[in-house]
Amino acid sequence: MWAQAIARARAELAAAGVASPEADARSLAEFVAGSHPHGEISPAHLLLYEQLVAARARRVPLQHVEGRMYFRYLELEARPGVFIVRPETESVVEAALAEIRRIRDALVADLCTGSGAIAIAIATESDARVLAVERSAEAFASAVANNARYGNLVTLVQGDAREELEGYAGQIDVVVTNPPYVAPWHVLSPEVRQDPELALFGGGSDGLDLPRQLVARAHTLLRDGGILIMEHGDEQGRALRAAATACGFVDVTTGRDLAGRDRWLRARKER
């Protein structure tokens, strides 16, 4: 029976230290069954389910086990070597959309797009024209695949976000970015450690070398009055506000996620 299989899986995942054993056991069951699992389970389904649960118990991220991840209204592919987008980034996208929806025919740039999650979410939830930059070849390939799934609404550029889009300097309405910002002293879960280091660590003792560089880059790309929205760690708000102010941004504030944690920088390029 599916109920017994899910119960065993929940216990196995809990013993392995998985943070959400109940939810993961049920997600994997739905992945195997293709719908809400109930009643009898076939031998083939049981074998597959047990194999997937065993992988999750080894702390392979659920998204990699299933090959998919969910973000706002999107279902995206998830592959090893590409950053797994997290739920807290949804509030960052909401902050960006609040700015974008005030602008007619907005031009948006997503720097360090990774799988393309932020860029595709914005493109599917607004009328904005969206550009996205990614350096990693593996992540860029994933962004291309995800973008195609949603009608190729985003213009993707492979390259260094600190250098690309030069032809758009002074023209972008909103720059949004979830850059690498983890400081080297952070203790990371086994799942997070499987994200590529290039997508995690921002450089320097505080993890903010690259974010500071991207603040400066955003100031170059934005039009007068344009807005920067940048995700960051909950201990980094003050440092990034200082960096934005030093670059010439005004109205510099820190946004908070649903848990009340400092989560993103909002700054306006002075007119």
d(CA 173, CA 154): 16
Annotated catalytic residue, options 21, 71, 83, 211: 83
CB 168 within 8 A of CB 107: yes
CB 234 within 8 A of CB 217: no
Q: Is 83 a catalytic residue?
A: yes
> Which residues does 25 contact at the CB level (< 8 Å), separation at least 6?
6, 9, 10, 13, 53
Phi/psi of residue 239, nearest 5 degrees: -65, -40
**Identity (one letter) of the amino acid at 248?**
G
Annotated catalytic residue, options 21, 37, 179, 211: 179
Annotated catalytic residue, options 178, 180, 211, 249: 178
Q: Is 196 a catalytic residue?
A: no
Q: Is 80 a catalytic residue?
A: no
Closest Cα partner for 103 from 245, 240, 239, 226?
226
Residues β-bridged to residue 249? 269
Dmax over CA atoms of the chain, in Å, equals: 66
Which residue matches tokens 């903010």? Answer: 208
d(CA 241, CA 215): 10
Q: Which residues form the catalytic set?
A: 83, 178-179
